Structure 1
Amino acid sequence: MARFTEIGTAKIPGKGTELRLLQRNDEFSIKIAGTTGELMNSRVHGSEDALATLACERIAGQPAPRILIGGLGMGFTLAAALSATGKDARITVAELVPEVEQWNRGPLGAAAGNPLDDPRASAYIGDVADLLKTSDGQWDAILLDVDNGPEGLTRKENNWIYSPAGIAAAQKALRPDGILAYWSASQEHAFTEKLRGAGFSAEAVTVRGLRPGKGAYHVIWLAW
């Protein structure tokens, strides 16, 4: 069996640790240097797809939706959002690590169908928190997949996204009847209550990591 080969590395801003991009034939993996577990794998993206499809279902009546995605990853959430919306959609994906965008415009892009090549998509290189703090009633949907969930793993600064201040900023950034969605590797009931405490109606939807009926259980929070 072929082995994974490292084809790229990138520093995580603010943490000093490295991301490693690995390839084995047409399969890709992203890991944190010095660890054995994967952050993501190109064969396991069912819950990343669900983050987009569940949210886009809520804004299906919007003829020209504006969508913000926090976290490019391997491009699967962006690809699913493009697939779920029409020709007048405009989707901005914020990615903190510049090399991750470069990987998606290079060899990694084919895994998700090169969604950054779609003219409806644009990339913002920087922290999605900065866009949330400066947006005011701008987005029909905000999809956040910037860490492992409310208990941050890759970068402590990501915790702001899940804090009362971060939730309030996202709420202000949404248009009327907009939808806020978070991806998480695991359930955390306290976060559902935190969203409700901020004035949202909220539900936690359990999805499978690989595809319906297969893979680990992940959680998508929807708040409106």
Structure 2
Amino acid sequence: MIPWELVDSSPVPGGSETLYLYRRDTEFSIRVDGCELMNSRVHGSEDALAECVCARFAKHPSSKVLVGGLGMGFTAAAALQNLGSQAQVVVAELVPAVVAWNRGPLGHLAGYPLTDSRITVQECDVALILQAEQQMYDAVMLDVDNGPDGLTRSDNNWLYGWPGLKATYTALKPAGILAVWSASPDPAFSKRLFQTGFSVKEVTVRARGQKGGSRHMIWLAQK
């Protein structure tokens, strides 16, 4: 078997965790302290995160969406594929190295989405954007961790608690949608969404899309 090769590593700003980028032949993996966060061969549910949301805005050419977490670029690429020619996609990525990886060794995986003129990348915590905006976005898509529990960074818990959900609710336009990716269900999070004022739909998707794989959860919460 071909061994994994360490390509690069980077500390997570504001925390003690470290992200590692590995390659094995044509396969890539991003891990945090031994736990795999994402793999280039398994991105069906990341694609679905954007497809579930952005297809609703395909007839609105000037839609504006916020993507929290760049990852390997699959969610951003799927958003672009389902949005109009005048859409704006803002990607917030906390770790500058992840942006560099997507412009370099990972770029080809999702078709170099960062070269699309509709995308703007902000190297910052998505929480800062949510706290600063009011009725700005048609949709907010969050894929910043393995779900509502902060694995990569404990500060991510803010996003999924009352303060973060209220900030997101405020940042969305009327009837805007919050979509959240998770590796597993979380009934308590579903309840918080509902109590914040969202109408909530839970969608189960497969890690490898039509090829199957693990079951992941996407919350679609409409303002």
Would you say same fold, with TM above 0.5?
Answer: yes
Counterpart position of 2:56: 58
Counterpart position of 1:19: 19
Q: CA deviation at 1:29?
A: 0.4
Q: CA deviation at 1:189?
A: 1.4
Deviations 1:21-49 (A, max 9, x none): 0112221101113x2x3110000000100
Q: d(CA) in 2 for partners of 1:207 and 1:24?
A: 26
Q: d(CA) in 2 for partners of 1:189 and 1:106?
A: 38
Q: CA deviation at 1:73?
A: 0.4
C-alpha contact 2:60 2:84 (8 A) present in aligned 1 = no
1:180 to 172, 178, 181: 178
Q: CA deviation at 1:151?
A: 1.6
Two-structure CA RMSD over aligned residues (Å): 1.1
SS at match of 1:107: coil
Q: CA deviation at 1:4?
A: 1.6
C-alpha contact 1:26 1:111 (8 A) present in aligned 2 = no
SS at match of 2:190: helix
The residue type equivalent to 1:23 in the other structure is: R
The residue type equivalent to 1:9 in the other structure is: S
Q: CA deviation at 1:59?
A: 2.7
TM-score (norm 1): 0.96
Q: CA deviation at 1:191?
A: 1.2
Q: CA deviation at 1:213?
A: 4.9
Counterpart position of 2:131: 133
Q: CA deviation at 1:62?
A: 2.3
Q: d(CA) in 2 for partners of 1:82 and 1:57?
A: 10
Counterpart position of 2:121: 123
Counterpart position of 2:101: 103
% identical equivalent positions: 51
Q: d(CA) in 1 for partners of 2:13 and 2:135?
A: 28
Segments of 4+ moved more than 6 angstroms: none
Q: Which runs of 5+ in 2 are unaligned?
A: none
Q: d(CA) in 1 for partners of 2:170 and 2:116?
A: 28
The residue type equivalent to 2:25 in the other structure is: N
Deviations 1:109-161 (A, max 9, x none): 11111100111111000100000000111101100011111121111100010
Counterpart position of 1:43: 41
TM-score (norm 2): 0.96
SS at match of 1:44: coil
Q: d(CA) in 2 for partners of 1:23 and 1:79?
A: 21
C-alpha contact 1:59 1:141 (8 A) present in aligned 2 = no
Q: Which runs of 5+ in 1 are unaligned?
A: none
Taking the TM superposition and a 5 Å limit, the aligned residue runs for 1:65-76 are 65-76=63-74
Q: d(CA) in 2 for partners of 1:177 and 1:53?
A: 17
